[in-house]
Amino acid sequence: MNNTAREFLHALSDPYVSLDRVDPFADMADDERARLHASLRRAEEEIAAGGSTPAEELVRELRAAR
């Protein structure tokens, strides 16, 4: 049995096997991808500069607002 047939049979037996092969960004245009990467860089820079809220504090504030 070749590798392709083995993968196909495995996919039939495991409904989740293909989930890790999905690339949500595969059809993203180059300009969209560039904007995404620029946004991620800005976010990383903001975090490095201390411009973020620790998750524990955010959860505490959300729970207090209930």
Q: Is 15 helix (H, G, I), strand (E, B) or coil?
A: coil
pLDDT value, residue 22: 64
pLDDT value, residue 44: 93
Domain count of the chain?
Answer: 1
Query: What's the domain range around 35?
Result: 3-64
Q: Are 58 and 50 in contact (CB under 8 A)?
A: no
Report whether pLDDT(1) > 60: no
Q: Are 18 and 11 in contact (CB under 8 A)?
A: yes
Nearest to 54 by CA among 62, 65, 36, 42: 62
* CA atoms of 31 and 36, how far apart (whole Å): 9
Write out pLDDT tens, residues 10-66: 666 666 655 656 677 778 889 999 999 999 999 999 989 998 888 999 999 999 998
Q: Are 46 and 38 in contact (CB under 8 A)?
A: no
Write out pLDDT tens, residues 35-46: 999 999 999 999
